[in-house]
Structure 1
Amino acid sequence: KTTNMPERPFDSENARKKQHAEQSNNELDENSPTNNNEQSGDEEDDDENQIKGNEEEDYQEDDDEETPDFTDDEYGSEFTDDYLCPELMAERPQEHESLNNVIIVDNLPKVDPAKLEKLKEVISKVYNKFGVCRNVYYPLDKDGKTKGYGFFEFQNEQMALEAVKQTDGYRLDKNHTFSVTLMSEFERLTQVPSEATDIGNLLSWLTEPDAVDQFAVQSDDPKKTMIYSNALSQPILLEERSKWTETDFVWSPKGTYLASFHEKGIALWGGKEFRQVQRFAHTGGVQHIDFSPCERYLVTTSARPGNSEAFIIWDVITGQKKRSFPVEQGSPYFK
């Protein structure tokens, strides 16, 4: 049996004071350094856990990236040499340095390995006087014998040009005369001319049994050129073409070629079917031409104001330009 004791008037007040004191102590404990350290430690633990979580996510994302397939032949094809080897490519020689500074010397003595150093010593005395020769190369055959030519790289283009000028045609001894050229001209020297088209006998008209000549007639309306064989009974038409020439035509002295005039130059025709044999580019409109008596050379003139090549002398066989001359004043003329 439980008996409820009557409440004392001062017991409630004492209880309130005790409760207030306990609450104040709890607040002090919460603000104490020790409690703060415990909270900071908890926060640091949370931060570390978050960082570890992020690292795990990043690592997982890296694993998800596609691994390059190195077995693919096209892998890396988009990478340039400058990208892969920037320092090495920065030191590469420029075209003007690697070509214009290098000369090729042909007709050197062919010597065996025992005499190679002596050859280098002799040749170096010839070329060291033109400047600093940075590199020298003598190609060798399978037996170690020189092939009769060499490459010489000078410090600059002026040295190389002077070496070509002074030693091209230089006679080392009675059996060896130098042939020297710039490396930049190597492509031109090694170009093999295309196989010429067989145009037949250029003098086929001389084999005509009756020994008749040929002559050409030009009409302006319409623009036609006709070539006839001057047969005994009446002329026989051999060839007729429209717009074969723009202004005029000229026979060569021996009748080997028929020259037609065009805005861009002169064309030569010959053979039994009058195919194009050669052409000479002389822009500006050619007014006059003349052949040498042997038909080996051709002179074309285009006397336009400011034309630095009013006269040009051509090699008929090769089509190469031999020389050119300007016109100071007046009209050009042949004498």
Structure 2
Amino acid sequence: MSEISEEEYLQLEKEINLDDIDFSDLEEKYEADTGSDNIVVVDGAPIAPEAKVPILIKVLRKLFSTVGEIVEGDEGVFMPMENGKSKGFLFIQYKTVDEADVAIKKLNGKKLDSQHRLLVNKLSDIEKYASIKSEFQEPKIEPFKSHGYLQSWLQDEQGKDQIVLHFNENVGVYWNKKASEPEPVIEPRKGFTSKYAKFSPKGTYLFSIHPQGVQSWGGSDFHSVRRFFHNQVRLVDFSPNEKYMVTLSPAPISLPDSVAERQQFPFGPESEGHKLVIWDLATGEPVRTFALPPHLENQKEMPWPLVKWSFDDKYCARQGPDALAIYETPSFQLLDKKLVKIDGIQDFEWAPAGVKLHNSKSKTGEHILSYWTPESTNHTARVAIMHIPSRQVLRTVNLFQVSDCKMHWQSEGKLLCVKVDRHTKSGKTIFSNLDFFKLSEKDIPVEKLEFKDVIINFSWEPKSERFVTISRLDDGNPNPAIPKNTISFFAQEDTKGKNANPKYKSYKTIENKHSNTVIWSPKGRYVVVASITRPSGEIDFYDVSFDDETSKKGLPANVKLLKSSNYAGMTNLAWDPSGRFLSAWSSAWLHAIDNGYRIYEFTGNLLRDDSVDQFKDFIWRPRPESLLTNSDRKKVRANLREYSAQFEELDAMEADAALKEAILARRKALEDWRAYRAKHVSKKVQTSEVQAEIIEEIKEEILEEKEEIVE
């Protein structure tokens, strides 16, 4: 294409009429600021006769001056007139755009009197929405962005578990290599979180906490999955099936002044002033927000979680003064649109699994929760079992002289243990009772165990009816240097017959201990009893089904101390999801003594002891429930020796590089031999043409001759 000359260009410019060209698309795309963003339009004002308009303007100017400085004179407030009356709206010009934003935020919807509500909007917004095209335009849908397989770590051939190590300002994800140094999954990231990191209950997501909100990470490389804006968030919790997240911030939600910022803000006007938020993890959107109850606003230690979930995420509930608010998901509307009134309610707990009530036809089990109320002038203390959604109270137990109650559900929802701390009439001595609600039996009978001691720790064995308690005598001598705690291992007596009613019995008692913590292996049988945050740092490993001559008697429990260890400065303990390893660590969040971590086998053998400066946290990555059927599990048990041999070989290779090289060389030699044999075994062996003749020959040989005379 040839270039146009200057003369030709000037001639062409004269011939073109610019008024005939439509520039509306360019004007819309490159819209300039016309300076009207500081002007607001107020609708809903009274229609007044012309004589009263100055008074009305004076009243409205005074009201709108409370949020910003208005331009002086008629330019500041202009009220259009028609037929000697005002038209019911006016224009107000502020000196700055920010002041106009504040006016909209604070005065939009304000009642001037019983008959007039003011509606405040920006003039520029009205012009913008008045020019919307009548033709429908398809919204632009962003293409789907895959985050990959979020459970990829479960495909590890050796079944290794992942761990998170938080030290200094760094957070790293690693493969647990037992005694060997952990292998990085990703390089440690500095500033990964401003507070702490946390996995979701099934291990799908890793969450980091920031001043602006919460960030979720996932996939094999832990890339960013989603952001949840909640200013100054402090606490985070999740529903059991990872559908929802709950966040809490001390800062109330405040809507931005800017209209543009409000469009990107996840909360609406109904959330203003709220501090508690429930999020949908799949969409990243808030589904419900709540204000804190007045009695919690000034509380130093916040009870957490404030929202508790049913086992299948179908319901959630939160406690308020004299009431329980139960919500259905996903609508998050109140169950039956009303609160459950419970005078003086102190605490409640959902059953962690579907409860198989007597004569229940539900395959998945019923939704059950328990709660307790304290003593009052006219009522005794009470523990109750409630069915949801019917709200029917299935069982109630009255209690006397109660100081406190703690509810402990058995993992399968078969039993509820209520630890009742009671006081003598004088109130000087505290002792404990254990009340067991047997939910699978008719009328939910209750078994009571009475103690002279105060129970300071109670823990059920997973998927079992055995439990461990730690107790101490309330003798008025709280000297922590004296070991006064008693560890007791309980199981139900082995009784026979249809009408047998087994009672709980202590099968082993260990006295004069400093222990204050009980932590069961996720698979049961093995339990660790420890003294946390004490200088001694005792860790005792027990097997409650030890296989010896005593176990052959068929007793429900046979307790054996496997090993003891001391870890000075220990602050935390945690089992891995498989129950094979136990981690113990000393956190810099609590003190600066010997910070670092240890990894033990379930039998108590120390595998790794690592001192790390400014070590803060050790987190095992959770695993979802096993997908194996009962028949699959039977096959695994039947071939357990074969699998054990394979894993032992892998362990040996992992521990010794030379042995690993020898085993791999031996495997290669075996594979080469098999390949050679497969190649040559099919070849026909060449034989000579000579025919063979078989000749049979019989030989007789006299071994011994003996002569005997018979009379």
TM-score by length of 2: 0.21
Report the structure, 1 or 2, having the larger helix content.
1
Which structure dedicates a bigger proportion of its chain to strand?
A: 2
Tell me the TM-score normalized by structure 1: 0.43
Structure of greater relative contact order (alpha carbons < 8 Å, 6+ residues apart)? 1
Q: Which has the larger radius of gyration?
A: 1
